[in-house]
């Protein structure tokens, strides 16, 4: 089994957080005026949608490579529905457009990407989450 860890810390002088994995960083914050947020970065819902869409974009490339298909442009739009208190994501919808360079129907690539998308599959099956204070 593989594992992956990312780190987040507060950004000095703000109430935002900086997250990183390897040499890649991202800022996480609340919208301007919400619980001290300054709108300096993405909120949790946006990050969830970006994780889903970003993973699917990568998996379109993996699927195309495996199927021997070359892709041109890719466009993925992700909409998440939010409801309840505490606020939960109740549904997610991806709208996918991709172009094959040979002009063939990209549906096989989209179907393959759907079957291997780690984030989509994890969300669909449910993921146990443990939250504990550091020692």
3-state secondary structure of 54: helix
pTM above the 0.95 mark?
no
Range of the domain at 15: 1-42
Cross-strand partners of 21: 24
In percent, the amount of the chain with pLDDT more than 90 equals 98
Residues 11-26: b if buried by 16+ CB within 10 A, e if exposed:
beeeebbbbeeeeeee
65 and 95 assigned to the same domain? yes
Instruction: Encode pLDDT of 62-103 as tens digits.
Output: 999 999 999 999 999 999 999 999 999 999 999 999 999 999
User: Closest Cα to residue 57, out of 109, 126, 121, 127?
Assistant: 109
Query: How many domains in the chain?
Result: 2
Find the CATH number of the domain harbouring 89.
3.30.300.20
């Amino acid at each position: 089994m593989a594992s992956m860890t990312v780190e987040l810390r507060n950004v000095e002088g703000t109430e935002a957080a900086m997250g990183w994995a390897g040499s890649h960083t991202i800022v996480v914050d609340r919208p301007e005026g919400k619980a001290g947020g300054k709108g300096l970065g993405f909120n949790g819902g946006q990050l969830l949608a970006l994780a889903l869409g970003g993973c699917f974009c990568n998996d379109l490339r993996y699927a195309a490579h495996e199927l021997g298909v070359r892709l041109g442009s890719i466009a993925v739009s992700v909409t998440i529905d939010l409801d309840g208190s505490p606020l939960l994501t109740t549904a997610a919808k991806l709208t996918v457009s991709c172009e094959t360079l040979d002009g063939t129907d990209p549906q096989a690539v989209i179907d393959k990407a759907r079957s291997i998308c780690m984030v989509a599959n994890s969300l669909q099956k449910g993921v146990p989450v443990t939250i504990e204070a550091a020692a």
